[in-house]
Structure 1
Amino acid sequence: MILKPLRPLLLLSAVLITMLVTVPRAAHADTPVLVFAAASLTNAVTEIARAFEAETGRPVTPVFDATSRAARQITEGAPAQMLIAANRDWVDWLITCGQAEATSRQVLARNTLVLVAASRAATTDEVFSEQNPLLDVRRFAIADPEGVPAGIYARQSLEAIGMWDRLEARLIRGDNVRTVLAWVGTGAADAGLVYASDAAIAPRLAVAAVVPDHLHDAILYEAVLTRDAPAEAQAFLSYLSSDSARKVFTGFGFSSPPPADQIQPQPSPTAEACG
């Protein structure tokens, strides 16, 4: 499990041990705001955090992993003060479990799913359909569809075109979308489904097809403050919606979020889901 905070590369367990010992939930102004964020946000949120610290003097330590694992870590006591999720269901789950503040939730960006392969193996501008030859390869990579947002969207898309059953036995499943990107980039997988923002930072890969949005749930990135998050976390949440931050998101291949009145309300999970 590889995670990348703003400063030195650390495993999540090491981050949590350190933070549990040294960071009270009500942090002081010079204590870093600990942000758990989806792996696909690594480049964008790292840059935004650096800009925020440069402008305000308030440090931020982002830690990146699959949204599902980050959310579970928070319910298990990890002292993160914010989650930026690649799937709004996990924000709902944290709120239902009493771990996040519903009034703080904020959609920051959206993304697109794309089919990628090594540049030498891919023909660009193909249609994402059952006829696409990259859906007939021996090793096809997606993120784990049992909870990782990129994997959930990938499964929805493959089911929509009638390819899930044909591909399932040949799938290799990554713990987050950056793992899938690395597998395709190194040849461990022949092709895979990742976000457009991930493909944009992988020059050795080619986008063979863009997955139509109607084949899967909307890919929206939503931030939420955890319970008793300090004022510094609220300040960073506000900064994430600033023009400066949106330019960074756009620069890394994300799209602006839709207007609030166009975002579909989420069904609330049951309290039993927290057990």
Structure 2
Amino acid sequence: MAALVSPSTGRSVSGLSPTPTKPAASASSPTATKTPAPAKTPPIQKVQLIVSAAASLTESLNELQPLFEAKHPGITLVFNYGASGTLQKQIQQGAPTDVFLSAAAKPMNALAEEKIIDAATVKNLLVNDLVVVVPADGGLMISSLADLKRDDCRKIAIGTPETVPAGSYAQESLTGSGLWEVLQPKFVFAKDVKQVLSYVESGNTEAGFVYRTDALASTKAKIAFSVDGKLHKPITYPIGIIRRTEHRAEAELLYDYLISPEAAAVFDKYGFGTSP
């Protein structure tokens, strides 16, 4: 056995054995076995659900979106807001849509008759009221449809009746009151109720016809008066599922959620009534 040399004295030190070195672990040694990495959980494949909805539902549906998605993390809602008649035409032309929420029965019924909407799913979800609004600051003091004839009420915003249900309800009310033809020179037509509201808020028109829910959501416009509900058809918001949807199960989950008490509480917050 070779003698060890003391590192401090440089002398050999007898009687001491070198510390044995451990043999290197072989490939077959247990210590060399690598623990396999845990299998990666595949990401959730989210379904994108496209909802075409009346513009007057914007605020309430935007609030409901995260509440629904929290309950169903595999679904992402994408909203397409606009005038109900315009949305109807888009759907008829094949625009991707899974669920339709209209601000009137006519567009929904037309799609159901063409078998684009599953008629078995059509249900009146909400009700609303038609009101006349004026600018919040310095707006005219008017209290009836007849007051719209006043000389100081120069321009009146109204949704295009052919595509905007609120405009159609306004036309029906004014026609029944004998004022439609008289007020024609004052009308400024808009693509939807949100544009009507913006015209009034900016002072570009002295008055405008919108839904109560739109007026309540605005800080720059105020309700001058409510239009008598007897002058027009009931304002209902039907919901229906598109027959050609590729995500029927997910569409039914949204459908059921929107008719739930939780959703009804949010709609109520924005001034909607629930349909009996």
Fold match (TM-score > 0.5): yes
User: Which one is further off, 108-117 or 126-135?
Assistant: 126-135
Structure 2 unmatched runs, 5+:
1-43
Structure 1 residue 223 corresponds to structure 2 residue 239: yes
User: Which of 84, 107, 128 is the matching residue for 1:67?
Assistant: 84
- Report Cα offsets for 1:13-40 as digits up to 9, x if no partner: xxxxxxxxxxxxxxx9722110000000
**Residue 160 of structure 1: aligned partner:** 176
Query: Separation in 2 of the partners of 1:29 and 1:84?
Result: 26
Q: Does 1:137 align with 2:166?
A: no
Number of matched residues? 230
Q: Which TM-score applies when normalising by structure 2?
A: 0.79
The residue that corresponds to 1:246 in the other structure is 264
The 3-state SS of whatever aligns with 1:203 is: coil
Other-structure match for 2:212? 196
2:253 is aligned with 1:235? yes
Q: Which residue of 2 aligns with 1:268?
A: none
Instruction: Check whether the contact 1:130–1:162 (CA below 8 A) recurs between aligned residues.
Output: no
Q: Write the distance in 2 (CA, Å) between the matches of 1:226 and 1:214.
A: 32
Separation (CA, whole Å) in 2 of partners of 1:130 and 1:52: 44
Q: Which has the higher helix share?
A: 1
- Partners in 2 of 1:135 and 1:161 — Cα distance? 19
Q: CA RMSD in A?
A: 1.8
The answer to which of 115-124 and 76-85 deviates more is 115-124
Amino acid across the alignment from 1:108: L
SS in 1 for 2:273: coil
Is the Cα–Cα contact under 8 Å of residues 134 and 191 in structure 1 kept in the other structure? no
Report the AA paired with residue 114 of structure 1. Answer: V
Could you tell me whether the CA contact under 8 Å between 2:116 and 2:244 is conserved in 1? Answer: no
CA distance in 2, matches of 1:104, 1:242: 15
One-letter amino acid of the structure 2 residue matched with residue 107 of structure 1: N
For residues 69-107 of structure 1, the C-alpha deviation after alignment (integer angstroms, 9 at most, x for no partner) is 111111111110111000111111001122110000111
Q: Equivalents in 1 of 2:220, 2:167: separation in Å?
A: 22
Change (3 A) 1:49 1:236: same
User: Gaps (5+ residues) in structure 1?
Assistant: 1-27, 260-275
Deviations 1:91-145 (A, max 9, x none): 1100112211000011111100111011233366x54231456696111100001
Q: Distance in 2 between matches of 1:74 and 1:136?
A: 42
| Structure with greater Cα Rg | 2
State the percentage of identical aligned residues: 31
Structure 2 Cα separation of the partners of residues 89 and 49 of structure 1: 26
Pairing 1:10-89 to 2, within 5 Å after superposition: 30-57=46-73, 58-89=75-106
Match of 1:92 in 2: 109
